[in-house]
């Protein structure tokens, strides 16, 4: 009987990362390495205006003065920046007016990933911006959205068509000097999504960007800028996958969100970058800077993330609560299995009056995974009546994994109320057996238990993605209790 | 239905069951009594398929199949139900979700379609009434925050939902007050049919006032040392387990 159990486990763990395939598409790649010439080359390939080139050069020069931070609870092999290709784009990217203009290989890729590029056949009404290897390939529903004044396009297109908007907001939430990887991104970013919701408009559909790293040895440096003008609302979803490779791939992206008065932005991420194989070889390095500025009064920004992939996840989606009565939320489920590592959390900075923040972080560690929550709740001197609730839970599967918590509370205003709760639990063999005895297989039992644990966070996702997230959670933990 | 032949089992190398032989026919209720440490729960664990217990010798045949080669889930789907002595809590997983998954797994195994949400809820309502279980229990996470008695009632509720062929109740009466005991026993009696069987494991005779056994076995030091009808339970109650120990010692020296 034991032999059967082992067979089930090994069958299931040898085939799971189903996005590990590679697409053979003609790519335009620049030579490896990083230098001022490379930065200029990237800018010229994209036909960028001078002001943007200047921004890049400024960032690159600043980057040269910086050192990679060593404070996270992560073991990162040294990164050789001269061994990375900083720009790769599908060749011959014409101005795509119809779905038929897309390289058929590319189309096949997205079909395999289940990403809908065909608007006509698309039932759930999600507008998709498909970004492959840092280049936005297709954005659906552009016209429909344009009728409402909503701009949803690639970052590169936005630079060309809406330079004033981009100039006004880019770098206002994550300045080019912010941190080592943000500065690197500011120098070499290639593309990403741009979104602008005009005053008073409630975006009628989910907006979604789907990122896929395809080429070998390339870094992916996207830049997303999302602006919700006064009284507007948008729900945005970001999905990510990458092929299985032996080498590590660097993903250093920036997401900036600005919410003006009475505006609300929901930003959800389902991240499933290749996590490395069972021995910990390969996998994506996911070093991302995501920050939202609740600029106006009563504005609200919610981050929801399901992180199941990447060899190393290092990110702190944060909110700056500048506007009075503004609200910031962070809901996260981060999984580390096999040899994955995560040092993730959030920063909530309370600046205005009567601001509120909620943090719910659920870590799941399995295999030899190391999962760290790092959160900062900072209440500035004049931030009267600030409220924060933080809950950070860890679930351990097996006895070789780790869960760590580094909560920081810096409170400089005595009228604030800050609450912090933490729990640690494990899925016991007893619980699995109880399910087995009721006819439920071990895999399904883990799925039930993990989804019950993560339910509070999954409920924050748009419905269609909630279902995918549940399946993803179950798959990412297959073979972890044995 | 169940034939156990010379079953020997150990945990961590320590021998617990030292040669158990027992046969349960359809429609029968067997009681297994014995002092602490005699191996009662270990026997239940072996039948349910707990990996912690290593079977070192003997056979167990269930409905003509070799039970020891089946996974715990398959044994369950073939109709074996274990009412746990210490039902475990599973926070975050609602009873409804848990039972729906279990019931539909059983149905799939039998080649039936899964129940629709409304049919399932109706089934839950009916069974709740049958075993007099509080509605509120079903809306909570599995066993979370349940009192001891509620956990035991919940085991009987699950048994009612899964309709097993062979139910093994491991000290279901421990921790129950008289009223709860009566409810649990009632539930069992209502579920009894000519084609299903029960193995009731208990310390005390009390439960057997309500669930009347056809056969009573006394387990001592890993062996069945006495088998008789329901009067045996009454005799044990009167004389205590020391009586059995003395009898065994006498037999050894005789």
Residue A251 lies in a domain: yes
Segment A293-333, tens digit of pLDDT = 999 999 999 999 998 888 898 999 999 999 999 999 999 99
Q: Is A421 on the interface with B (CB under 8 A)?
A: no
Among A15-19, A299-303, B9-13, B19-23, the range with the most confident prediction by mean pLDDT is A299-303
Among A148-157, A379-388, B223-232, the range with the most confident prediction by mean pLDDT is A379-388
Q: Which of residues 3-22 of A touch B (CB under 8 A)?
A: 4-5
Name, in order, each residue with C-beta under 8 angstroms of B126's C-beta and a sequence gap of 6 or more.
none
Measured CA to CA, the distance from residue A409 to residue A374 in angstroms comes to 11
Residue A481 lies in a domain: no
Name the residue with higher pLDDT: A122 or A388.
A388
Q: Do residue B101 and residue A2 have CB atoms under 8 angstroms apart?
A: no
Whole-number pLDDT of residue A7: 41
Q: Do residue B88 and residue A438 have CB atoms under 8 angstroms apart?
A: no
Q: Which of A453, A379, A383, A382 is nearest to A419 (CA)?
A: A379
Choosing among A438, A447, A458, which should be mutated to test the B contact, i.e. which has the most B CBs within 10 A?
A438
Whole-number pLDDT of residue A353: 96
Q: Which of A228, A195, A43 is nearest to A129 (CA)?
A: A195
Which of B48, B88, B105 has its CB closest to that of A440? B105
Whole-number pLDDT of residue A55: 94
Residue A7 lies in a domain: yes
For B92, name the nearest residue in chain A, comparing CA atoms only: A452
Q: Do residue A439 and residue B97 have CB atoms under 8 angstroms apart?
A: no
Whether residue A448 is predicted with pLDDT greater than 60 in this model: the reply is yes
Whole-number pLDDT of residue B186: 86
* ipTM summary value: 0.93
Whole-number pLDDT of residue A412: 94
Residue A482 lies in a domain: no
Residues of A in contact with B72 (CB under 8 A): 433, 436-437
Q: Which of B32, B67, B40 is nearest to B221 (CA)?
A: B40
Q: What is the mean pLDDT of chain A?
A: 82
CA angle A125, A127, A133 (to 5 degrees): 140
Q: Is A425 on the interface with B (CB under 8 A)?
A: yes
For B141, name the nearest residue in chain A, comparing CA atoms only: A452
Q: What is the mean pLDDT of chain B?
A: 88
For A6, name the nearest residue in chain B, comparing CA atoms only: B71
Q: Where are the domains of chain B?
A: 2-179+190-243
Percentage with pLDDT > 70 across chain B: 98
Measured CA to CA, the distance from residue A140 to residue A127 in angstroms comes to 5
Domain of residue A197 covers 2-476
Residues of B in contact with A455 (CB under 8 A): 92
Q: Do residue A449 and residue B92 have CB atoms under 8 angstroms apart?
A: yes
CA angle B113, B118, B119 (to 5 degrees): 50
Q: Which of A3-7, A398-402, B232-236, B239-243 is least confident?
A: A3-7
Name, in order, each residue with C-beta under 8 angstroms of A298's C-beta and a sequence gap of 6 or more.
A261, A262, A323, A324, A325, A326
Residue A410 lies in a domain: yes
Domain count, chain A: 1
Residues of A in contact with B105 (CB under 8 A): 438-441, 444
CA distances for A126 relative to A132, A235, B230, angstroms: 18, 10, 69
Whole-number pLDDT of residue A95: 45
Q: Write down the CATH number for the domain with range B2-179+190-243.
A: 3.40.50.300
CA distance B216 to chain A (A): 25
CA distance B76 to chain A (A): 5
How would residue A2 be classed by pLDDT, with cut points 50, 70 and 90?
very low
CA distances for B217 relative to A403, B228, B231, angstroms: 49, 7, 11
Whole-number pLDDT of residue A121: 34
Q: Which of residues 258-287 of A touch B (CB under 8 A)?
A: none
Q: Which of A328, A349, A340 is nearest to A280 (CA)?
A: A340
Residues of B in contact with A425 (CB under 8 A): 91
Whole-number pLDDT of residue A165: 93
Q: Which residue has the tokens 């037999």?
A: B251
Q: Do residue A4 and residue B158 have CB atoms under 8 angstroms apart?
A: no
A195: three-class secondary structure by DSSP: strand
3-state secondary structure chain B: CEEEEEEEEEECCEEEEEEEEEEECCCCEEEEECCCCCCHHHHHHHHHCCCCEEEEEEEEEECCEEHHHCCHHHHHHCCEEEECCCCCCEEEEEHHHHHHHHHHHHHHHCCCCCCCHHHHHHHHHHHHHHCCCCHHHHCCEECCCCCHHHHHHHHHHHHHHHCCCEEEEECCCCCCCHHHHHHHHHHHHHHCCCCCEEEEEECCCHHHHHCCCCEEEEEECCEEEEEECCHHHHHHHHHCHHHHHHHHHHHHHC
First to last CA, chain B: 36
Whether residue A17 is predicted with pLDDT greater than 70 in this model: the reply is no
Q: What is the CA radius of gyration of chain B?
A: 18
Whole-number pLDDT of residue A93: 46
Which of B73, B91, B141 has its CB closest to that of A441? B73
A453: three-class secondary structure by DSSP: helix
Residues of B in contact with A481 (CB under 8 A): none
Which tokens in the block code for residue B204? 């005390």
Whole-number pLDDT of residue B43: 92
For B55, name the nearest residue in chain A, comparing CA atoms only: A1
Segment B46-94, tens digit of pLDDT = 999 998 899 999 999 999 999 999 999 999 999 999 999 999 998 888 8
Which of B81, B87, B102 has its CB closest to that of A440? B102
What are the residue ranges of helices labelled H in A154-278? 155-161, 163-169, 180-188
Contact A79, A285 (CB under 8 A): yes
Measured CA to CA, the distance from residue B22 to residue B32 in angstroms comes to 11
């Amino acid at each position: 009987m034991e032999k059967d159990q082992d067979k089930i486990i090994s069958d299931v763990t040898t085939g799971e990362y189903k996005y590990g395939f590679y697409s053979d598409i003609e790519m335009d790649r620049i030579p490896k390495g990083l230098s001022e010439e490379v930065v200029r080359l990237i800018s010229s390939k994209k036909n960028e205006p001078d002001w943007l080139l200047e921004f890049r050069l400024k960032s690159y020069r600043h980057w040269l003065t910086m050192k990679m931070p060593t404070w996270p609870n992560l073991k990162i092999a040294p990164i050789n920046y001269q061994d990375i290709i900083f720009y790769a784009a599908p060749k011959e990217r014409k101005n795509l007016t119809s779905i038929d203009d897309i390289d058929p290989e590319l189309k096949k890729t997205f079909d395999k990933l289940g990403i809908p590029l065909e608007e006509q056949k698309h039932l759930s009404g999600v507008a998709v911006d498909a970004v492959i290897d840092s280049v936005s390939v297709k954005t659906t529903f552009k016209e429909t959205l344009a009728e409402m004044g909503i701009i949803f396009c690639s970052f590169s297109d936005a630079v060309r068509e809406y330079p004033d908007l981009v100039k006004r907001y880019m770098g206002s939430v994550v300045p080019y000097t912010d941190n080592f990887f943000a500065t690197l991104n500011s120098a070499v970013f290639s593309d990403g999504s741009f979104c602008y919701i005009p005053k008073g408009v409630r975006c009628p559909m989910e907006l979604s960007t789907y990122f896929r790293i395809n080429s070998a040895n390339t870094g992916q440096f996207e830049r997303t800028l999302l602006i919700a003008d006064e009284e507007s609302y948008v729900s945005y979803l970001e999905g990510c996958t990458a092929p299985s490779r032996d080498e590590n791939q660097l993903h250093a992206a920036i997401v900036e969100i600005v919410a003006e008065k009475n505006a609300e932005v929901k930003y959800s991420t389902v991240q499933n970058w290749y996590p490395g194989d069972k021995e910990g070889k390969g996998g994506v390095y996911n070093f991302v800077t995501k920050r939202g500025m609740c600029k106006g009064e009563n504005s609200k920004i919610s981050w929801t993330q399901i992180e199941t992939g990447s060899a190393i996840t290092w990110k702190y989606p944060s909110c700056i609560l500048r506007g009075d009565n503004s609200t910031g939320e962070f809901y996260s489920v981060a999984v580390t299995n096999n040899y994955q590592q995560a040092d993730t959390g959030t920063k909530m900075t309370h600046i205005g009056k009567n601001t509120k923040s909620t943090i719910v972080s659920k870590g799941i560690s399995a295999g030899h995974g190391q999962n760290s929550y790092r959160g900062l709740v900072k209440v500035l001197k004049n931030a009267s009546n600030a409220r924060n609730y933080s809950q950070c839970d860890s679930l351990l599967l097996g006895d070789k994994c780790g869960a760590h918590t580094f909560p920081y509370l810096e409170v400089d205003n005595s009228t604030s109320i800050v609450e912090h709760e933490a729990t640690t639990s494990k899925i016991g063999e007893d619980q699995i057996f109880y399910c087995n005895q009721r006819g439920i297989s071990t895999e399904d039992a883990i799925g039930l238990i993990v989804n019950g644990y993560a339910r509070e966070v999954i409920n924050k996702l748009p419905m269609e993605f909630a279902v995918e997230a549940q399946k993803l959670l179950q798959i990412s933990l297959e073979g972890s209790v044995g | 239905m169940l034939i156990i032949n010379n079953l020997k089992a150990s945990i961590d190398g320590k021998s617990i069951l030292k040669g158990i032989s027992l046969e349960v026919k359809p429609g029968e209720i067997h009681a297994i009594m014995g002092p602490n440490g005699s191996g009662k729960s270990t026997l239940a664990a072996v039948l349910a398929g707990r990996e912690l217990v290593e079977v070192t010798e003997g056979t167990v045949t269930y409905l003509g199949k070799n039970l020891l080669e089946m996974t715990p889930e398959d044994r369950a789907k073939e109709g074996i139900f274990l009412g746990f002595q210490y039902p475990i809590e599973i926070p975050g997983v609602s009873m409804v979700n848990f039972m729906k998954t279990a019931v539909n797994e059983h149905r799939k195994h039998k080649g039936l379609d899964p129940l629709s949400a409304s049919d399932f809820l109706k089934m839950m309502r009916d069974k709740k009434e049958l075993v007099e279980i509080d509605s509120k229990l079903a809306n909570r996470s599995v066993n979370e925050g349940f009192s001891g008695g509620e956990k035991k009632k919940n085991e009987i509720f699950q048994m009612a939902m899964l309709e097993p062929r062979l139910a093994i109740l491991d000290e279901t009466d421990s921790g129950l007050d008289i009223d709860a005991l009566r409810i649990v026993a009632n539930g069992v009696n209502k579920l009894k049919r000519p084609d299903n069987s029960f193995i009731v494991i208990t310390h005390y005779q009390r439960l057997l006032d309500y669930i009347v056994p056809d056969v009573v076995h006394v387990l001592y030091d890993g062996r069945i040392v006495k088998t008789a009808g329901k009067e045996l339970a009454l005799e044990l109650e009167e004389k205590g387990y020391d009586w059995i120990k003395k009898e065994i010692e006498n037999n050894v020296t005789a």
